[in-house]
Amino acid sequence: MKKFIYIFFLLIATFITGCNEKNFLKEEPRDDIYAENLLGTYTGFQSMETAIKSLMREEYNRVDNLGRYGSATLPIARHAMWGCGTDNSWSNNTHSSFRFMYYPSLIKQTDLDCMMLTFEWLYKIVSASNMVINRAEMANINWEGSNAAVNTTNKETTIAKARFARAWAYRHLTFSFGDVPLSTTEINGLTYRTDWERTPVAEVRKVMEADLLYAVEKLPLRATNNTTVSGAVARHYLGELYLAMGNPTKAEEVLKPLVTGTEYSLMTSRFGSNAAQPGNAFIDVFRSPLYSGGNKEVLLAFLNTQPENAPTGSAPIYLKSTWKNYYSNDADIKKSNVAAPEVVSGVINSIKMLWLINGGKGAARSSVSLGSIRLYNYKGMGAIDDRNSNYAMVWKIYEKNSTGAIVEYLKNGKSVIDTTVSAAMVDDSKTTIQNYKWPSTRKWDYVQTVAANGDADESYNDMVYLRLADTYLLYAEALYKLKNATAVDWINKVRKRAQAVDVTTADLTTLGLDLILDERSRELLSEEERRHTLIRVSQENGGDERAVNNYFKKRVRAFNEICGRPARGMNDATIPVLFPIPQIFIDSNTGRVIAQNPGY
């Protein structure tokens, strides 16, 4: 995979531009990848586009960066920073960086590696995007088109994708940290600063709006493949932005062409590489996420490949190990597969066999809450809803028996998967949970192609990033806020695919926005940056996300049997929900004092 090469090029380009002396050594090193050389042609800009896309893709890679800032190398995806520790999930691990995900009041630290690295990573994307946006406007760029119109298209497409990436990064930054420094110019030797100030979120969002509007205008609604940013992806995030800005009218307007058009649709019939296997259309979406596999639902996917198939290497994904339970650490489950012929003969051990026939190894960094599981039973649909089935959730553990047959592994005739809340889980003086019998999502299953790697944390499958089902629910939210009765129709499109019964206008009137948040959890569990969503709706109309009766803390108390316990902070208005501005940034910004977020 070319990812590492392009990131190297990106870093070189970023740092070399810091030296701006025109006559430095009076050399023109045209064989090296300096920004001045790389960004002189359309091909060079495409290389930068690949590098920025690779950086964005790091959301699904590990947040600890293999030891940056002295962090222990625990493989948890960056995405878990925003997906775990909410109403529908808690951390099943006690590492210091994860504790706030099961004990929310422990967020009150300003030097957690995971938060510093997240802040730093997102500003790398901002900085790289600014470089592209700035340099694409320079004269004498060879846009490599056959005529002036093609040159203009190449230029505008390049700028649109960079502006999208900048808005995408600021989406994460504002939902995570609140007011953050706004940077829209390339940083070089003349513009380097140590006097940054925190720009109000409302001002940052104006820049995001302009960036996303440009991307919507200049990018096709459907690209040639869904591993690149399209107008559809830009529309989705612009619609979400308008909801965050308190403008459901604009949200409805920008989302309508996407949800009512014919370019995309929910996948309601079996398809793709998994179609011949037992399953359902919902899980097929994750097994075959690319256009080339027949998928018309996934708006954006991340392409990957197994290392042995990529001569320049590959980039592992950690969603599987983050969201799947560590079943091999359970005393009962680890007894499975001992009679498998390959285990008896010594070809492979029983633990690797366990993972090879159960969808790949999990590391139990994030676990679903009991409340999120209960939500599937809305209107008695718990055993019917495809999103809660054996194909989408781990409700059974399988083993290979002495004859080589794959059968369910049972204890006393019952499934070993158990939702009994253990004493450690509800003991507020404990620092250990680690319940390894817990059910978990199968969306990210990946079985290593080499048996010897059966217990590896990494996965190399093509990954769903954004789906039309998410857009439908955003659109339903906009319609609900506009008091449009058709909001339930869009919720029901999602429910019908899951084989769940319809909700009614009366249901939506009674439950309000909570019903939409419930459906988002049922459909998007482990996909959605759930923390972002709950912060967004808590801040509506000037609301304080820390308020005990806003959606974030109210729903954590109602649905999370771990994070929502009374002693753990979700009934205390002083406990922060936003992340802290990293202390290392505050200390290094010597030209201006940066205020910390409340509660730290």
Residue range 507-566, pLDDT digits in tens: 999 999 999 999 999 999 999 999 999 999 999 999 999 999 999 999 999 999 999 999
Would the pTM count as exceeding 0.85? yes
Radius of gyration of the chain (CA): 24
**Number of residues that make up the chain:** 600
Report the alpha-carbon angle 42-44-49, nearest 5. 90
Instruction: Please count the structural domains in the chain.
Output: 1
* 86: nearest Cα among 483, 554, 469: 554
User: Do residues 137 and 178 touch, judged by C-beta distance below 8 A?
Assistant: no
**In angstroms, how far is CA 433 from the centroid of its own chain?**
24
Q: Is residue 385 assigned to a domain?
A: yes
Of the CA atoms within 13 Å of residue 73, those in its CB half-sphere come to 4
Position 334 in a domain: yes
The two tokens of residue 7 are: 């990131």
- Nearest Cα neighbor of 575 from 558, 560, 557, 587 is 557
Cβ neighbors of 412 (< 8 A, separation 6 or more) are: none
Sign of the CA dihedral running 380, 381, 382, 384: positive
Mean of the per-residue pLDDT values of the chain: 91
pLDDT on residue 98:
84
Residue 315 in domain: yes
Q: How far apart are CA 315 and CA 325, in angstroms?
A: 22
The Cα-based distances of 45 to 41, 136, 163, 346, 391 in angstroms read 6, 8, 13, 52, 42
For 36, counting Cβ atoms within 10 Å of its Cβ (0-12 exposed, 13-18 middle, 19+ buried), the class is middle
374, part of any domain = yes
Six-digit token pair at 448?
Answer: 């290593």
Under 8 Å between Cβ of 345 and 465: no
- Answer whether residue 250 is part of any domain: no
Rounded to 5 degrees, φ, ψ at 571 are -115, 25
In this structure, is residue 61 part of a structural domain?
A: no
pLDDT tens-digit readout, 70-110: 555 567 899 999 999 999 999 998 777 888 999 999 998 88
The neighbouring-strand residues paired with 441 are 393
Q: What is the pLDDT of residues 357-416, one digit of tens each?
A: 999 999 999 999 999 999 999 999 999 999 999 999 999 999 999 999 999 999 999 999
**What does each C-alpha distance from 82 to 172, 321, 434, 471 come to in angstroms?**
9, 16, 20, 19
> Which residues of the chain carry a pLDDT beneath 70?
1-35, 65-74, 306-314
The reported pLDDT for the residue numbered 433 is: 82
Q: Are 559 and 86 in contact (CB under 8 A)?
A: no
Using the structure block, give the residue that is written with the tokens 């039309």.
468
DSSP structure string for 4-18: HHHHHHHHHHHHHTT
Beta bridge partners of 91: 366
Structural domain span for residue 362: 311-464
pLDDT at 7: 36
